[in-house]
Structure 1
């Protein structure tokens, strides 16, 4: 009988670390006679601008599979936050007012003069405004969530993180699909169709379409209509031209139209007896899903883009060029008084956004296997936003009207690069650097029918301004392979976010000054490991980041209304630990889990003059970020024979209490809650069909996606899964 080699000490050490991080006891290897389960599939990412295994890159990355998102009815960026504990979402009455947070830090402003803290990159193209990336995504392969400051490898700078969205490649052989789904509690329908394949020896292409409609889960008792729904349709096309093995040209065009009926807050509590009486028959409560308003609050959104990517192999080097244009039109209508009282009690608003951007990126990638492997790049970004905002307000029986026209233009230039020095087969050094130059200017003009300030409207005024700043950011670190299955890294990153202007409807002379750039110092220690013949993986990251001149909104009183005012809020700190794990228990059974502890706190707050809220908030929580957040999932397939499979899936997401307001308002805290989902499917992949039944929020837990206060009442954003609902999905491949 041959003698089997025993595992090396380093291999045993790697296995022990993985199992300990999962809280599992160390156990002996399986008997040789037992059949082993299949290994976990290799997860490929482009976080370092090269295709590499997730387990090899010295970056904290969470990867969400596109096909799994579609099967779970998670159709846009905002819907993945339950699966990625370090990612959180700020909801608003319009997608223009939404943003993402990574490790407790994000953009808390609707001003067009603010750079996103978390960048969204789709097929190499950076989206300049957060609201552009909130509509449905087509042909999604995966989403990579890169945590911490980025910039030495990506075109546009990102001071807190990057969502790197990668679409499906065009297939070599012609194939297509059609799928349809229907969900209850709001009458949601979704239909998708796609086809792609090779057109000639050197050209292949794909086309996909989407239609979706949802009545909503909030009722307007004034007219009996359901709101908080959507109506969307879109198309996306891709052409890939490969005249020879050294040149690849990819052209992508997409267009999406959307109309969302988003109520301007659903009342959960009120201390104003007059308001409560006018709200009837709606009664304020934590799980209220009814409104009473005479003015339809909704958003019209149009998002389009064109991009061309050229990848040219020059010997062992690759030169990449990405040229892109995007256009975004957004119109929102909001009921500021949230009542069906005529004449209107406070205000009715209409806001219009016309935004265009152009970007150009050049990137040179060195060959692998050299002592110094590097990526060098140059980047240019131009964006212009033209906005118009109008408000009608009744004061002492007189209808007043205000209109503001304002524009913001920003140009950004950058040189960036990152080196990986292969000191030995196991030890590598990381050195990245970025220089960014930003030019930002604005123009603002407001006219009002009143010569003095009235409720919600400031007097006529005009102003303009410009600023330019430059800054350095970078990354330095070490990576060491303890074994083939255990990789560790330690990095320091310097983050940079450019200057900003607080440009909005009721802009005042005190808002005309430019905000300073926001900077950060981030430290990260990570371990990435696999064990049990690649059946078990675990990635652990510890992080600590200090932010200076933190750009954030704080409550202020303008024209008799409480609004948010953008300031350099001071210094904040975020630190914690993150764990992602997966275990292929058997060939048919897989477990996965993610856990994050994020302690995001205010170190020192700079109180603005005339603030409407308390400024004694040092030590308080940063908004939209719970301390603890987790997600667990189990997938099990049962082969029935004759090509049929039964697929069972379930997942549970839990988070503790979250504060939605920077001023630490006790009324804007969502208590801890958990959401449980499950599905069962029957599939025949040889015949190309799948039927699934889904159950969402099986525990029937109501919660707030956001909470805010105003006028003596508290209101919330109602999520899609605010109550239990079920649906069916049908898919046919051909």
Structure 2
């Protein structure tokens, strides 16, 4: 850790610790006068979650889980999963210029790919519906009841793509009484946010509804020096409606529809440096040519640079919408649940491939256009038994049909010449997923039980890929590798199909330690299905053995399923007066046939291929603690130590010797991460309360690249936030003034190689200090 960054991180930690204000965002119950509760509470004040498809206290669930309430999300300005990753130590988020490049990591494991033929390792579930593409999970959350983050393999119940964990989003339900709310927010750097909604009974006791909408806009916190525009901003608007119909006491239907329209203006390249450090030699390759080009454009590369020099403002337009129907039937003490859902995701991107507004030898210019059309239909059926007796269980069946069609066009201009080449690829994936699953508790005694869960999965996947290039007008590229050019691959026409069956399971023991604590041990097998690396540069000219060996179309060979074996030991509980709550978990997960992106060399050119990278391991300790030293004062502390590394890497054929990365850390896996959040709420008059709140997040250095390059490491940093709020005692209005990044700490949310040289950074929303005001009124 560099001295400068060490000093700033330490200073922020000391300043935050000196405040009497670190808020109850985590899944621990609170006093009624304290900060908003993390999730719905039972009559006894315990937090209720649905991590096992039944309402349970968070203390009873033998899973490492964090639950964050919608109120806390709203008060702390956490509007998407990227924001949430700052508050949950074992969660990380990989950003990118486009939604399709972004993904979630839990305990150091996630899947980085733009291919529609591979599923993510972390499953995002919205009101019981699995979102199949990573880009769908970047949605603005709007009004939600809570978010549950389940760590480790969750395949037995949530299935599909949950080999590393689940982010379960539960939206608000309609109310019986007529209620409405309105909310406005604004910041000093001109971000504006408006939300409003209404809820109530249409037919008392039978039909009730909720509808809410949002609009938010931010011009950005970076600048494109070529166009003169502010960039790195967004504009989003959308709505969600819920209709709950209860024709009989034991029968209900919930119809949900949602729509979100997003327009992100994220620069393709903001240069952090003009050199690259070679792994493992540590040799620094400086690029005077890149430094000269940037200087001529008026850009200075640095870790705090917020200036881009793109030919145009790269942007992404995104539509994310769907509808679901949840039917619930009570069969005596049993519950039958069916969820029928359809969703669509449309993504349109326009990217500056090279990110430099100067054409020079060795620095080609490129312009990309991409279109994604993804549809999914799913049907789930579950039977939940009553609790008690020798065995209680959840049994179910699941079906998913998903289609994704993409078109990607890249135009490259190079010197000498200039020579301009355009390549167009049309490709797609169809995926049918079938599963039978169940999980049961075997109650040996009232306090001691066994846990057994199993899921059997069938995947059927087929793809098509057709690419043409103006550099190859006679379509000879399939037999003439000399026609390949950097960034543009010649003609390729391929199809493929596979069918595979896999298994997930969980076994464990759980022991209640008195009335208010429990301990558990589980062993789980995670499974993520096979796939194809279908993307623009998909190619068929790679050799599997020596140069004299046969030519084999490696990219048309399916990726093997990714499997994991996980051990977890946990203990959780609280005191009788709930003044102290705790949750501790120790874990180890070994992944085989890990699906990952890695740099490869094909005919002397650097490319990126999604491969079965070998075996990796993640192990560590997590802890969540809540203290309530006095009424109205709540302190939450969450910390994680994660040791995630490559155990045995499979070097692609022809790759450089630097691919020997055994023992190197996995990307997006800081060794240590801390989040502390506290609030003190007290009465200032008969009907007014004041809340003082502060939070801090800290992490050690983070590698962003599986290739272990030194120039893609983000040094350690800490971010300190605070707010002060005036609230009515009934809780029907609040005015909150907040400050983000008080210490003005600059950091990069992602670092990557430049297209030709150097490295570029992505600028996070809170890269510099800003303040804001939030006003909310409930009617």
What TM-score range do you get, normalising by the shorter chain? over 0.9
Which residue of structure 2 aligns with residue 441 of structure 1? 462
Q: Which residue of the other structure, out of 462, 481, 486, is the alignment partner of 2:517?
A: 486
Which residue of structure 2 aligns with residue 32 of structure 1? none
Is the 1:38–1:584 Cα contact (8 Å) retained in structure 2? Answer: no
Which residue of structure 2 aligns with residue 423 of structure 1? 444
The answer to whether the aligner puts 1:140 opposite 2:161 as a matched pair is no
CA distance in 1, matches of 2:32, 2:120: 44
The answer to whether the aligner puts 1:272 opposite 2:287 as a matched pair is yes
CA distance in 1, matches of 2:53, 2:623: 23
Q: Which stretches in structure 2 are left out of the alignment for 5+ residues? A: 1-30, 38-44, 275-285, 473-482, 541-553
Which residue of structure 2 aligns with residue 96 of structure 1? 100
Q: Deviations over 1:321-340 (max 9, x none)?
A: 00000000001111112122
Alignment of 1:314-463 (within 5 A): 314-341=331-358, 345-395=364-414, 396-451=417-472, 452-463=483-494
The answer to whether the aligner puts 1:712 opposite 2:731 as a matched pair is no
Q: Counterpart of 2:513 in 1: which secondary structure? A: strand
Is the 1:456–1:558 Cα contact (8 Å) retained in structure 2? Answer: no
Q: Which residue of the other structure, out of 497, 502, 505, is the alignment partner of 1:471?
A: 502
Is the 2:589–2:619 Cα contact (8 Å) retained in structure 1? Answer: yes
Q: Which residue of the other structure, out of 628, 635, 638, is the alignment partner of 2:682?
A: 638
Which residue of structure 2 aligns with residue 18 of structure 1? none
The alpha-carbon deviation at position 116 of structure 1 amounts to 1.4
CA distance in 2, matches of 1:223, 1:62: 43
The answer to whether the aligner puts 1:297 opposite 2:314 as a matched pair is yes
Q: Which residue of the other structure, out of 535, 540, 548, is the alignment partner of 2:584?
A: 540
Q: Deviations over 1:700-725 (max 9, x none)?
A: 00001010013111101110000111
CA distance in 2, matches of 1:247, 1:636: 43
CA distance in 2, matches of 1:717, 1:555: 20
The answer to whether the aligner puts 1:674 opposite 2:705 as a matched pair is no
Q: Which residue of the other structure, out of 135, 143, 154, is the alignment partner of 2:158?
A: 154
Alignment of 1:638-657 (within 5 A): 638-657=682-701
Is the 1:155–1:378 Cα contact (8 Å) retained in structure 2? Answer: no
CA distance in 2, matches of 1:219, 1:312: 55
Q: Counterpart of 1:79 in 2: which secondary structure? A: helix
Q: Deviations over 1:265-308 (max 9, x none)?
A: 31010032222222230100010000112222110000110000
Which residue of structure 1 aligns with residue 672 of structure 2? 628
Is the 2:341–2:377 Cα contact (8 Å) retained in structure 1? Answer: yes
The answer to whether the aligner puts 1:188 opposite 2:202 as a matched pair is no
The alpha-carbon deviation at position 141 of structure 1 amounts to 1.0
Alignment of 1:10-49 (within 5 A): 41-49=45-53
Which residue of structure 2 aligns with residue 501 of structure 1? 532
**Structure 1 segments of 4 or more deviating over 6 A?**
36-40
CA distance in 2, matches of 1:289, 1:312: 55
Q: Deviations over 1:24-67 (max 9, x none)?
A: xxxxxxxxxxxx99898421110011001101111110111211
Cα separation, partners in 2 of 1:723 and 1:242, compared to 1, 3 Å:
same
Alignment of 1:70-149 (within 5 A): 70-149=74-153
Q: Deviations over 1:653-695 (max 9, x none)?
A: 0000110011100000001100000000111243822111110
The alpha-carbon deviation at position 642 of structure 1 amounts to 3.1
Q: Counterpart of 1:380 in 2: which secondary structure? A: strand
CA distance in 1, matches of 2:752, 2:604: 17
Q: Which residue of the other structure, out of 615, 621, 625, is the alignment partner of 1:571?
A: 615
Which residue of structure 2 aligns with residue 176 of structure 1? 180
The answer to whether the aligner puts 1:518 opposite 2:568 as a matched pair is no
The alpha-carbon deviation at position 184 of structure 1 amounts to 2.0
Is the 2:471–2:490 Cα contact (8 Å) retained in structure 1? Answer: yes
Q: Counterpart of 1:483 in 2: which secondary structure? A: coil
Which residue of structure 2 aligns with residue 213 of structure 1? 217
The alpha-carbon deviation at position 561 of structure 1 amounts to 5.9
Which residue of structure 2 aligns with residue 9 of structure 1? none
Q: Counterpart of 2:693 in 1: which secondary structure? A: strand
Question: Larger deviation: 272-281 or 509-518?
Answer: 272-281
The alpha-carbon deviation at position 532 of structure 1 amounts to 5.2
Q: Which stretches in structure 1 are left out of the alignment for 5+ residues? A: 1-35
Is the 2:227–2:313 Cα contact (8 Å) retained in structure 1? Answer: no
**RMSD of aligned C-alpha atoms?**
1.5
The alpha-carbon deviation at position 149 of structure 1 amounts to 0.5
Q: TM-score, normalised by structure 2?
A: 0.88
The alpha-carbon deviation at position 696 of structure 1 amounts to 0.2
Q: Counterpart of 1:58 in 2: which secondary structure? A: coil
CA distance in 2, matches of 1:176, 1:518: 46
The alpha-carbon deviation at position 473 of structure 1 amounts to 1.1
The alpha-carbon deviation at position 533 of structure 1 amounts to 1.8
Q: TM-score, normalised by structure 1?
A: 0.93
Cα separation, partners in 2 of 1:346 and 1:38, compared to 1, 3 Å:
closer
Q: Counterpart of 1:625 in 2: which secondary structure? A: coil
CA distance in 2, matches of 1:74, 1:151: 27
Is the 2:67–2:146 Cα contact (8 Å) retained in structure 1? Answer: yes
Q: Deviations over 1:378-416 (max 9, x none)?
A: 000111100000001113312110000001011100000
Q: Deviations over 1:455-477 (max 9, x none)?
A: 21011111111111101110011
